[in-house]
Each structure stands twice: as C-alpha cells, then as structure tokens.
Chains A and B, each alone.
Chain A
Amino acid sequence: MKHKLKLILVLLLFIWGTAAAQSDTAPGDAAIAAPSIPPPAPVTNLQATDTDNDHGHAITLTWEKSTDDGAGANAVVAYDVWRWYPLEMDVVDSLRQDLAATRDAVRAFRIDLPRAERALEELQEDAAKLNTTRFRVAVPDVPGFTLTVDYALSKLADTIAYMRDNRPILMSRIKPEQQELAQALERLTQAHAAFPQNGEWRTIGKALAGATSFTNTGSKDQTSSDFFPDYSDLYYRVEAVTIDPAVRSEAVQVGPVQSKGQWFHTGKIPVVLFVVMFLVFTVTFVQLAKKGTDLYVRPLSGIEAVDDAIGRATEMGRPILYLLGIGVATEVNTIASFSILGRVAKRVAEFQTPIIVPCYDPIVMAVAQEVVKSSFLDAGRSDDYRQESVFFVTNYQFAYVAAVNGIMLRERPATNIYMGKFMAESLLLAETGTLAGSIQIAGTDEIAQIPFFIVSCDYTLIGEELYAASAYLGREPVLLGSLKAQDWAKAVIMVCALMGMVATALGWPAFAHFFQVTG
C-alpha cells in the first residue's frame, strides 16, 4: 500500500512538471529553462595568420568586435579562444611525462644509492663499536621518531638492493622512451591534418571585451609541455561571452593556418637603414683620412691635459694610475677606454714613467695587459713592460674601491685617469684622489656619475667626448673616420628632429611612424 502511494505521487509530480514546462505562462520555470539574456552577436571577419617577425611557434588571431561588445544587457565581457587539439597531443604529453619521470628516478637513484650505502656502513660501524644492536636510531627529518637498529639495517639493505636492481632497468628504459616520443612528435603533423577526426576543441585563452586580437604562442622546445608545432594545420574558434558564462555567441571558426619563422624582421628596417648610412659615412671618412685629407677635430681640454699630466708624473717620479672602471670588456665605454689606455701607455713608455692599472674584471685585465704590452712595444721599450703593473683586484665593487683607495694613498700617483664605466664608486675614488693630491682626468658616459667627476676632477670628458678622445689622441685614420661619421650622424639627427617637429606640427604621422622600431 505504501509503495503504491509513492508511485502515484511520483506519477502526479511528473505529469504536473511536464505540463508546467510546456506552459507559456509560468515565469518562474521559464527563467530556469531558458537563458535570462539573449546570446550576443558573434565576432566577424575572424582571421588567423602566422605572427610576423618572430622565430615561429605563434599564431595571431584578429577579428572585428561583436556588435554587442560594450553595450546592452547581453554585453560581451570577453572572447573565449579555442584551438583544436588532436588526441595525439595527449599521447605526446603522456610520453613526455613518462620520460621525465624515468629520468628523475634514475637521477634520484644515482644520488640516493651512495647515501644509503654510506648510512648502512655508518650504522654497521656504530653497532660494531657498541658491540650490540640493542639501540635505536633517530630518523632524519622526523623529530622524535626512532627505529630499532636491526629494523633500520634490514630496511637500508632492502632499499639498496632495490635500487641496485632497478636502476639498470630504469636506465635501459630511457632510450626506447625517447624514440617513442620522437615518433609521436613526427605523427603530430599528420594528426593536425586529420581535422576534425580524433581531436577536440580546447580553450587556450581569453581576450577581454574590446580586444580585436589574440596571439597564441608556445615553446619551440619539443620536450616542453608548452610545445607549439610549426608547419602544422591549426584551427581556431572564437566565442563572445557575456557576464553569464553559459550565454555565449555562436562560435566562429578559422583555419587551417600554419606557423613558421621569418628570415627578416621587417620591424627593424629603420635600424638596417641607419646602420647602412653610418657604414657609408664611416667608410667614406676613413678613406678620406687615409688619403691624407685634413679632418678637423676641435680641441678637447681633458685630452690635451693628458700629456701635461704624464709630464708632471715624470717630473715628480711618481706613477700614473689608470682605471678602466667596473665595466666588462664587451661594453662600449670599456672598449673606448682600452683605446685611450693604449695612447696613455705609449706616452708613459716613452717618458719611462710607471703605470698602475688595477682591474675589476679578469677579461678586462687580460685585454688591458695586451694593450699596455703593445704600446710599450710600439714605443720601442718592450723591456720596460711589467705584466704585474696591470693586475686583477676583485670582482666586488666596493672591495675594488677599498683596494684602489689604498693604492692611491700608498703609491701617491701623480695622475689618476678614470676612463670607462663607473657607478657608485666614482665619487669615492675621485675624492680620495683629490686627498692624495693627484691631477685627475675622468671620462664616462654614465650620466648619473658625470656630476661627481665634474665636482672632484680637474678635467672631465662628458659622454661622447670619451669616444672622441681616443681618435683625438691617436689621429689614426680609422678612429678619425669613425669620429667624423659620428658627427655626420648627429647632423642627421638634428635634421630629423627639425623635420619631425614640423611634421608633428602639420599632423603628418607617416614621418614619425618611419622611426617606430618593433621587436
């Protein structure tokens, strides 16, 4: 009787529910069965193209916004982007994870096996020393937990045996797993071409409302979980989504599209043009200088003072301290400083004045030694060259300062020359040099440090004067030609700035766009 009653009640509820669902006049149920807002309009003109100016492994999607983007009850809040994945991608992922796990296990065994063997030996030694196994040993990393020594010994022996037995097995597994992964990766291109068989759509990202593009990028590394295959047919979908995630537009599909790398980065065309321009200037002026054309370079007071300073050091019988700064040998200011060091060392060799060059970087020291050695050779005084006069101090900024300050006060150089890259140590060095009574000449292109040199040195080469100095000192055609080329490049900048100002005032954006470098 009870069961019959239940059955009747269930039947009644079912009939009432069906009738209510079919009724147009049931507002509460209508809200459950149908979405509260209509779906938004889909995006239009969806296009997928290989991303420009990259090394491949990226696709850019562009579209025109949904007409419901930004207004209305069904306003679009984002665009969901989907990509079609062949199931083979999961196989690749799984194989990749297996291989990584095997490698990790082999590595762990290689590290843990000797540790376990050592632990076993130590435990056996302890037991032999105490002549008993009736004691307990603490378990590392588990405070308060101890084991009987017999149990610990047997467990360690078992672990060692397990690792010894299984390590070769695991190692032998690596190569087949690598091959299996390589084969699966090879199958990926065919798997992508089989669209829409054996695959599924997966969401890969979201673009906020108002966006009209999305870039899908990945890694070129085949062993990475983020691997993005080049030269494979890829398919994408974009859906406009409202505030209710269930209410979304019809999906718009695009594809196939393939990603690939480019040989030329078109965004850097202005750079190429200016490199060519600079090259033409340099070659032209170097040729002119070689032919003996008189190329004027205005006097630089800081550089003219170098000869006087060397002469002063010679008369006083004191050394010259030359600092190349804390830059590495690959930085432009350090390279310029090498050139000046060459000139200074040549004069020093001629005057037979000692020179001290403490270096901050080992490579800089090696180059500086070669430069000074060559200069002594050029001056015909190679016997006077002492390799120990150019030495490495330390690679730590303030320790270097402490050491150089000590040299300044102990050796009392007549002249300190600072050329190259200097940072916070500039004032510490220059002030100590002033205390020691040395003539000081500095040159750097570090904008923040120039003020400190200006206030504490007798002569300062500001910025590009550092680069001009080497050409001015040597007057070699190559250096003089490049200095002239720099001047012409500055003239081009001035003309461009004037033209840019006029173009901006007249509202011609094309001129400014030419100077936009991307990437």
Chain B
Amino acid sequence: MSRASIVVLVLVCVAFAASWVVRAGANEGDAAVRDAFLVTLAAFLTLAIFSFMYRDNPYYKFAEHLFVGVSAAYWMCMGFWSTIVGNLVPRISESLSDFFQVPYSGGGLDFGLFYFSYRYFYLIPIILGILLLMRLVPKAGWISRWPLAFIVGTFAGLNLVRYLQSDFIIQISASFVPLFVDWHGFGHFFSGLSLAANGQFVAMLSNLVVFLGVICGLIYFFFSKEHVGWFGGASRLGIWILMITFGASFGYTVMGRISLLVGRLTFLFGDWLGIIG
C-alpha cells in the first residue's frame, strides 16, 4: 500500500467520523447516533460507487463486493422464504405450515372412492429441485440435465403459443388500418385540408406510416433474400423507421436516468449535507 493510499484512507476515515458526529449532533431523539451512522454510510457508499467514474479503486471494490454479497444473501433468503416456505410448504404439509407459521392451503379432488390430495403434485418440483442439485455430485452431475431440459422445454412450448398470440396475431390485426379515412373524394379532402391532430390528413398520414412501417420493418428482418433493388430500398426505409423509433425511445429513457441521478444528488445534498431543504 503506497503512502498516498494510506493518506487517502485516513482522510476518508476522518471525513466519515466527522460526518457521523456532525449528523448525530444535528439529529434528535434516541436513534440520532444510529440514523447519523446509516446516512453517513449510505453517502459513503454512493460516493464509492461514483468514484468508478474516475477509475477502478479500492473504495469502488469495497462497495461492489458489499453490494454483491448482501444482494446474493438477500435473494437466497428471499428464495427460501418466498418460494420454499411461501409457496411449497403451505401446499405439501399442514404441520410444516404450522411450524413456519404460514397458512396451510392444501386441497384435493374427491372421487368418492378415494380422495386425491393436490399435495402429491408438488412432489414433482421437489424431485426436480433435488435432481438439479445433483450437479454438486461429480458422478451424478448428468442427472441435473433432466430438470433443465424440463424447465427450458416446457416454457419454450408455453411461450410459443403466448408469443404467437400476443406478438403475431394481435399485431397483424392491429396493422389493419384504412389508408383512406373518411374519404369523400379529392375535392372534399383538399377543401378540408388541415394539420389538426384529429383531422383527416393526419389520420391518413399516421395510418400510412403504420402500414409502411410494418411492411418495410418486416422486409428488413427478412433473412432469406439479399437486400438489393426495390427489396433493399424497402429494407433501408425499414431501418430508418426503426432508427427514428429508437432515437425517440433513447431520449425518453435518458430522461428517466437523469431523474435517478437527481434522486441520488438530492440524497447527498439534502439528507446527508443538509444544504438543500
């Protein structure tokens, strides 16, 4: 560790302690010291992440590892409590439900001669989960491919129908737009020509853009034919329409990101430094 690094570390520690003391003095109540520590820690971690803009450094590494470790542990706990305890346990065992203090929600089908409990269905995910863990056993690792194949295959099949419905058929019917809206001849069209948003001209123009956008966009994504001649021209028009759409989307999303930055700056200058109210 170089001398400069030690000096910076000492300065950071002093600044942290000073901030803690000052914030604790500014706060009131029993939890003043604890709240001051938490605000100072949050500000320190925010600045540590921002320091990445300069270059990779030990403070960024500390914040990164802390963030990754805490989040991984958090999601593991969430996975256990929401998936296993929250979803599985209430469906398979009443006594386990009582143990974890979650409401039992078992059910079944009464066939008269015998009662079939739904809980047996939930043995399937338990078995698949155990098979998935078999990859931890070197000799039996191949077994874990079975649940993986089941998961990927099942959802690929389910998604085929879902996407075909939402991204194919519904999109086709949405593109059925008339190119001539409220058409009573050229005389009527030119006499009432206006750029009003609900006017005939704008309605026809937007329908034309929708129609051309769909056709030319599809031509751009047509891979079986070389994009030359009129087909290439339509493809180029398609990519232009896509790029204009992406540009609008880019600007819209950047505005959202700016608001996130404003949120962090408000925290630093308001909650931590108290400069803004």
- A contacts, CB < 8 Å to B: 103, 107, 110-111, 182, 221-223, 268, 270-271, 274-275, 278, 295-298, 300, 329-332, 335, 363, 366-367, 369-370, 392-396, 398-400, 402-403, 405-406, 409-410, 424, 427, 447-448, 450-452, 454-455, 462-465, 468, 472, 483-484, 486-487, 489-491, 493-494, 496-498, 500-501, 503-505, 511-512, 515-517
Q: Which of B12-20, B24-32, B36-44, B159-167 interfaces with chain A?
A: B159-167
B157 to chain A, nearest CB (A): 10
Inter-chain CA distance A410–B221, complex, in Å, is 38
6 A-B residue contacts at CB 8 Å?
A111-B98, A275-B161, A468-B223, A490-B218, A493-B171, A505-B179
Inter-chain CA distance A223–B257, complex, in Å, is 49
A367:B148 contact, CB within 8 angstroms: yes
**Which of A366, A452, A486 is close to B148, meaning CB atoms less than 8 Å apart?**
A366
Contacting residues, chain A, for B214 (C-beta < 8 A): 493-494, 497
B235's nearest neighbour on chain A, judged by CB, is: A298
Q: A271-B164, A298-B227 are in contact. Are A398 and B67 (CB under 8 A)?
A: yes
Instruction: List 6 additional contacts besides A447-B245, A464-B221; criterion CB under 8 Å.
Output: A222-B110, A271-B165, A330-B151, A330-B159, A399-B70, A490-B221
Q: Count how many pairs of residues, one from A and one from B, have CB atoms less than 8 Å apart in the complex.
A: 185
Inter-chain CA distance A456–B118, complex, in Å, is 51
Q: A221-B107, A406-B61 are in contact. Are A494 and B218 (CB under 8 A)?
A: yes
**Which of B152, B176, B223 is close to A504, meaning CB atoms less than 8 Å apart?**
B176
Inter-chain CA distance A486–B221, complex, in Å, is 10
Binary flags per residue of B210-250, CB closer than 8 Å to A gives 1, else 0:
01001100110111111100000000000000110111011
Interface of chain B: mostly helix, strand, loop or mixed: helix
B156 to chain A, nearest CB (A): 6
Inter-chain CA distance A500–B151, complex, in Å, is 38
Interface of chain A: mostly helix, strand, loop or mixed: helix
Inter-chain CA distance A451–B247, complex, in Å, is 7
Q: Which residues, 121 to 157 on B, are CB-close (under 8 Å) to A?
A: 132, 135, 144-145, 148, 151-152, 154-156
- B contacts, CB < 8 Å to A: 49, 52, 55-56, 60-61, 63-64, 67-68, 70-72, 74-75, 79, 98, 101, 104, 107, 110, 132, 135, 144-145, 148, 151-152, 154-156, 159-161, 163-165, 168-173, 175-180, 211, 214-215, 218-219, 221-227, 242-243, 245-247, 249-250, 253, 257
A517:B170 contact, CB within 8 angstroms: yes
Inter-chain CA distance A447–B49, complex, in Å, is 28
Inter-chain CA distance A331–B218, complex, in Å, is 23
**Which of B49, B145, B154 is close to A370, meaning CB atoms less than 8 Å apart?**
B145
B15 to chain A, nearest CB (A): 23
A279 to chain B, nearest CB (A): 10
Inter-chain CA distance A107–B95, complex, in Å, is 9
* Top 7 A-B residue pairs of the complex, sorted by shortest distance between their CB atoms: A330-B155, A500-B176, A396-B71, A515-B173, A451-B250, A399-B71, A395-B75
